[in-house]
Amino acid sequence: MSDEKLTQTKVAGFVIKPEAPEILPIYEEIKKKFEARQIEVLLVEHSSKMIGLSNGIAFKELCERSDFLVSLGGDGTLLSLVRKSYGYHKPVLGINAGTLGFLADVRISEVDTFLDNLLIENYRIDDRMMIEGYIQTADGRKKFHAFNDVVVTRPTISHMAKIDASIDGEWFNTYRGDGLIISTPTGSTAYNLAAGGPVMYPLTQAFIMTPIAAHSLTQRPLVLPAHFTIDFSSPKEKVIVMVDGQDTYEMEAGEVLVINGASIGAKLLHKKERNYFSVLREKLSWGDDE
């Protein structure tokens, strides 16, 4: 568990769930709570316009000026913010405007208490593994970062994907089926879980590779250390590569997808008393009576 703390807490940069103008009164209420503790609140331009305000700033400026970033929405909003702000390496706080999330775990009713604890350094910064990768094409590299997962899948429902996989340059398997999920531990409770992959403690440094509707019953999820380099290619047909379910790339036959554990992870601000297993029990209804 990291003992890392923020160097200062003077400026918070907010990003709000897209296409949710009804969040305006919630944002204004939370903004007052921050300002009451002498924390300046900045709002990104596209969120400002969405809720009908005119004081937003560009995303680059938001990241540069903020001591930490705040996602107001759900896990999807936080996921997008972590990826887009990756190059600035600012810790991200998730305030959940809906139900309890795996990532955005501070409820609206808990903001006052969290901020009071923030000012006395009674909080946690979790360092979550991220994926850095690229698609090697004839014209160069298409680079990306992923927080949850990278999915390689068939381009049409009528075709089966055939994906050759190598670890540190040595071929080890060919996956045939609907596709393959390469997940971080954070993403283990997302698409990976739905496809039958294992749940992994989020501070682990490892990949999970889970076949999607594999053509062979011998294909099973595989967990690998994060320091491996994993290559994927489709020898004869184009496949689709999806990053965190938000960015999509076409990978032509003969092109190569290369995946590594990112040298710097994502930093998430959490309540000090937050218990990951309690969240799992609540979200997955573990232990409920039949």
Q: Is the pLDDT of residue 1 over 60?
A: no
User: What's the distance, CA 108 to chain centroid?
Assistant: 21
For 121, phi then psi, to 5°, come to 60, 35
Same domain, 55 and 160: no
pLDDT tens-digit map of 140-154 = 999 999 999 999 999
Q: Is the pLDDT of residue 224 over 80?
A: yes
Same domain, 256 and 150: yes
The two structure tokens encoding residue 152: 């390689």
Catalytic residue list contains 75 = yes
The pLDDT-based confidence of 203 (bands split at 50, 70, 90) is very high
Q: What is the pLDDT of residue 253?
A: 93
The two structure tokens encoding residue 39: 């924390």
Same domain, 186 and 72: no
Same domain, 27 and 125: yes
Beta strand pairing status for 92-96 and 106-107? parallel
pLDDT tens-digit map of 48-61 = 999 999 999 999 99
Q: What is the pLDDT of residue 3?
A: 81
**CB of 125 within 8 A of CB of 268?**
yes
pLDDT tens-digit map of 78-135 = 999 999 999 999 999 999 987 667 788 899 999 999 999 999 999 999 999 999 999 9
Residue 178: which CATH number? Answer: 2.60.200.30
Q: What is the pLDDT of residue 288?
A: 67
Average pLDDT of the chain, as a whole number: 92
Q: How many domains does the chain have?
A: 2
Residue 149 is assigned to a structural domain of this protein: yes
Same domain, 111 and 24: yes
Same domain, 211 and 163: yes
pLDDT tens-digit map of 3-16 = 899 999 999 999 99
Residue 35: which CATH number? Answer: 3.40.50.10330
Same domain, 257 and 135: yes
pLDDT tens-digit map of 247-275 = 999 999 999 999 999 999 999 999 987 77
Q: What is the pLDDT of residue 104?
A: 85
The two structure tokens encoding residue 172: 């080890």
Look-up: residue for tokens 């294992």? 198
Q: What is the pLDDT of residue 289?
A: 59
Q: Which of 67, 75, 126, 289 is catalytic?
A: 75
Residue 5 is assigned to a structural domain of this protein: no
The pLDDT-based confidence of 283 (bands split at 50, 70, 90) is confident
d(CA 96, CA 94): 6
Residue 121 is assigned to a structural domain of this protein: yes
Same domain, 274 and 250: no
Same domain, 137 and 213: yes
Same domain, 161 and 271: no
Q: Domain containing 100: what range?
A: 11-129+265-284
d(CA 78, CA 95): 9
Q: What is the pLDDT of residue 100?
A: 60
254: left (phi over 0), alpha (psi -120 to 50) or beta: left
d(CA 130, CA 145): 7
Same domain, 136 and 256: yes
pLDDT tens-digit map of 64-82 = 999 999 999 998 999 999 9
Picking from 92, 101, 22, the residue whose alpha carbon sits closest to that of residue 274 is: 101
Same domain, 139 and 105: no
Tell me what percent of the residues of the chain surpass a pLDDT of 90: 82
Residue 274 is assigned to a structural domain of this protein: yes
